[in-house]
Structure 1
Amino acid sequence: MDWYQTLFELIDMRSFSNLWFWIVLAVTWSTASHWVLGVPYDMVLRARRQGDQAEVDLEDMVRINVNRLLFIAQVSGLWILGFGCFGLTMLVLLGFVYGMEFAQAVFLLAFPLSLIGLLSLSTARLIQAEESGGERLRRRLTRHRLYTQIIGMVSIFVTAIWGMYQNVALGPLGG
């Protein structure tokens, strides 16, 4: 048995029947809902409970991440959008037209995360435009986290339904 065959047995390209895919899916959405605009959500909770320096730290961290995100969007936003659309289109074609299960799995991870990226950009613009601070900033970040969790729940549900369909339709050996 060569290393190539061993590697592909460990990283099964039948994604929906592979435990690693479901672990990646859970960790991805857990991480996405914990980091709100690049700020860990526990900082929002700490600022709400303690105020003072925790509030200043939160506002500084959000200001830095909002400015960074908006700068990246302004400088190279169209290129990122173009490459992102190209990548998602390629995954759709490979996955759903040509039946490549690995591409389906990556698309079902990447597409909702691209929606989170657009949501983050929109939230960053709102925070900068209204110069949010204090309670208003915490509410905006909490709302962003809620929307992220809703997108994540829908994504996990759709992925689970599609994965179950693939496993039932294709069987354990892939056809």
Structure 2
Amino acid sequence: MDLFQTLTEMIDLRSFSNLWYWIALAVMWSTASHWILGVPFDMVHRARKNGGQSAEDLEDLVRINVNRMLYVVQMAGLWILAIACFVLSSLATLGFGLDVEFAQAVFLLLFPMATVGLVNLATARSIRLNEPQGDALYRRLATCRFAIQIIGMISIFVTAMWGMYQNLRLGVFG
């Protein structure tokens, strides 16, 4: 009986009172703000500081990732959009319409990440169109990162407020 109780506490679907949910949220946003268009942001700092081979490597990696991202969108973008809209609307309906806390928690993770995907896509299209190099490329990547960080701050704030509301409403701490 103790093993079953321990397992059910570890796999608790009441997400907002679960420490693992908040750890996952923090790791997700940390990763999202570090990897811009599939490029680690420390490469941007290194390229800006050192130039030379570091700058060439960054430009090559950005070019490869932009081409890959735009190719995937060109080939399967409509399907990806349809599936994403179905999943997000299903989660929103289950979570907020039918009051399923697990669906609310997953929606509050995935919806902002879908927005991050759109920001990355817009940045990739801008880079393909303008083909910036050097400082212009660094600024474009930094702007994309800043937008992702703003989305992350808003998302964390909304998730924390909703989670506190849910915990107080359901009497988790009482």
> What TM-score bracket applies, with the shorter chain setting the length?
over 0.9
Total equivalences in the alignment? 174
Instruction: State the match for 2:35 in structure 1.
Output: 35
**Residues in 2 aligned to 1:3 and 1:69: alpha-carbon distance in whole angstroms:** 46
Secondary structure, in 3 states, of the residue corresponding to 1:99? coil
CA offset digits 1:65-102 (Å, max 9, x no partner):
00000000000000000000000000001100111101
Hey, what does 1:105 align to over in structure 2? 105
Structure 2 residues without counterparts, runs of 5 or longer: none
How far apart are residue 133 of structure 1 and its match? 1.1
TM-score in terms of structure 2 length: 0.96
* Structure 1 counterpart of 2:66: 66
- 3-state SS, counterpart of residue 132 of structure 2: coil
Question: Structure 1 unaligned runs (5+)?
Answer: none
CA contact (8 A) 2:120 2:144 kept: yes
Displacement of 1:172 in angstroms is 1.3
Match of 2:22 in 1: 22
Counterpart check, 1:12 vs 2:25: no
Contact 2:95 2:101 in 1 (8 A): yes
Deviation at 1:3, TM superposition (A): 7.3
* Structure 1 partner of 2:159: 159
Alignment of 1:160-175 (within 5 A): 160-172=160-172
Q: Report the equivalent of 1:128.
A: 128
CA distance in 2, matches of 1:11, 1:22: 14
> In structure 2, the residue corresponding to 1:12 is in which secondary structure?
coil
- Percent of pairs identical after alignment? 63
CA distance in 2, matches of 1:7, 1:39: 38
**In 2: Cα distance, 1:4 partner to 1:117 partner:** 39
TM-score (norm 1): 0.95
Letter matched to residue 113 of structure 1: M
Deviates more, 1:86-95 or 1:7-16: 7-16
Give, as a single letter, the amino acid of the residue that structure 1 aligns with 2:23: I
Q: Give the RMSD, CA atoms, in angstroms.
A: 1.5
Q: Tell me, in whole angstroms, the C-alpha distance in 1 between the residues paired with 2:5 and 2:103.
A: 20
Distance 1:71 1:64 in 2: 11
| 1-structure distance, mates of 2:111, 2:33 | 16
Closer, same or farther: CA 125–3 of 1 in aligned 2, 3 Å: farther
